[in-house]
Amino acid sequence: MTEPIHDLAHIAHAELLTPFPQDSLRFFTDLFGMEIEHREGQSVFLRGWGEYQPYGLKLTEAPLPGIGHIAIRAWSPEALKRRVAAIEGAGLGEGWSDGDHGHGPAYSFRDPDGHRFELFYEQDRYVPPEALRPRLKNVPQRHVDRGASVKRIDHANILAADVAANRRFATEQLGYRLYEQVVLDSGVESGAWMSLSIAAHELIYTADHAGKSAPPARLHHLAWFVDTREEILRAADLFVDADVPIEAAPAKHAVAQGMFLYVYEPGGNRVEVTTGTHFIFDPAHETVRWSQAERARGQAWGNKTIETFHTSGTPDVSGAPPGPPIPPTSRIPAL
């Protein structure tokens, strides 16, 4: 038995690409309720009200939607060095950069599917402007509550032609723990839910339905956390009125037991509002392995899994024009 790895702490931020940056920005500020923390080049840095770090989302203009990179913070400088060595040993490293707005030197690498990641340790702590100063000193920012009012980035679900290969890399080189997985009757692993903490999932790989013919490194969705299930129900109400395309109305996942709401942001990326997953306290947790038949039963309350959930990712491979793959529900403009 090898000792568990405790070198990486959490996803500090993710970079989302959008071909419609103005619309996407309005979505994340007005409807997700995030604050603009910084602008630089083609990017806007956005934060949920509960993030200690300056931002959890880097929104960047690009020809196609998808995931730019995922940035993971290490537990310590030494821990960072250990993980960099492991990644280099796997032949997937791409080298150091000086860092970006809000954090220090970062080591860049790609997972086997080609998604770009960064590791760093030095991270600025958010200092709110006066108007966003909270009343209680253990809260990073005043809770303004606009739209869904997301608290912090929660997890990333990325697509891979070979889930097992990427899952092995994440667990062996990065130290992720594999809490749940789906293994099809064919023996192919089609989903892996992994975490660096007691949170039920922080990094998820699911099978890219387009397989090896798809462009590599596609995104399934990014998810943001809210504190209560009521906030998710409320978000659905607000999204309906604001013409946000809802892909999956609020319900409960079987895997990890989380409450979900899936929508498309104007750039065409699927984003989730989530809460309520269970915690994994067992240091010797046995991976929960779901069979094809078990997955076919649907979500926790029997809701069938939405079909597009299996077929849609960004960038798109269907040849559809850019933007959300399902039509908006109405013609009402966001306020």
State how far the Cα of 294 lies from the Cα of 185, in Å rounded to an integer.
11
Q: Please select the residue that binds a second copy; options are 58, 115, 234, 270, rule is CB under 8 A.
A: 234
With helix as H, strand as E and coil as C, how does 198-217 read? CECCCEEEEECCCHHHCCCC
Closer of 9 and 317 to a second copy (Cβ): 9
The answer for residues whose C-beta is within 8 angstroms of residue 238's C-beta and 6 or more apart is: 31, 147, 148
* Residue 103 found at the interface with a second copy (CB under 8 A): no
Closest to 177 (Cα-Cα) out of 294, 279, 313: 279
Q: Which stretch binds a second copy (CB under 8 A): 17-25, 49-57, 58-66, 105-113?
A: 49-57
With helix as H, strand as E and coil as C, how does 221-272 read? EEEEECCCHHHHHHHHHHHHHCCCCEEEEEEECCHHHCEEEEEECCCCCEEE
Closer of 251 and 317 to a second copy (Cβ): 251
Q: Please select the residue that binds a second copy; options are 42, 279, 292, 296, rule is CB under 8 A.
A: 279
* Residue 292 found at the interface with a second copy (CB under 8 A): no
Least Å distance between CB 139 and a second copy?
Answer: 7
- Measured distance between the N- and C-terminal CA atoms of the chain, rounded to whole angstroms: 56
Partners of 13 in the beta sheet?
71
Least Å distance between CB 210 and a second copy?
Answer: 26
- Kindly identify the residues of this chain, within the stretch 115-134, that bind a second copy according to CB under 8 A: 123, 125, 130-131, 133-134
* Residue 294 found at the interface with a second copy (CB under 8 A): yes
SS3 334: coil
* Residue 296 found at the interface with a second copy (CB under 8 A): no
* Residue 227 found at the interface with a second copy (CB under 8 A): yes
Q: Is 180 left (phi over 0), alpha (psi -120 to 50) or beta?
A: beta
Q: Please select the residue that binds a second copy; options are 71, 236, 271, 273, rule is CB under 8 A.
A: 236
Closer of 3 and 185 to a second copy (Cβ): 3
Tell me: cis bond preceding 324? Omega within 30 of 0 counts: no
Least Å distance between CB 135 and a second copy?
Answer: 5
Q: Please select the residue that binds a second copy; options are 224, 262, 264, 290, rule is CB under 8 A.
A: 290
* Residue 172 found at the interface with a second copy (CB under 8 A): no
* Residue 139 found at the interface with a second copy (CB under 8 A): yes
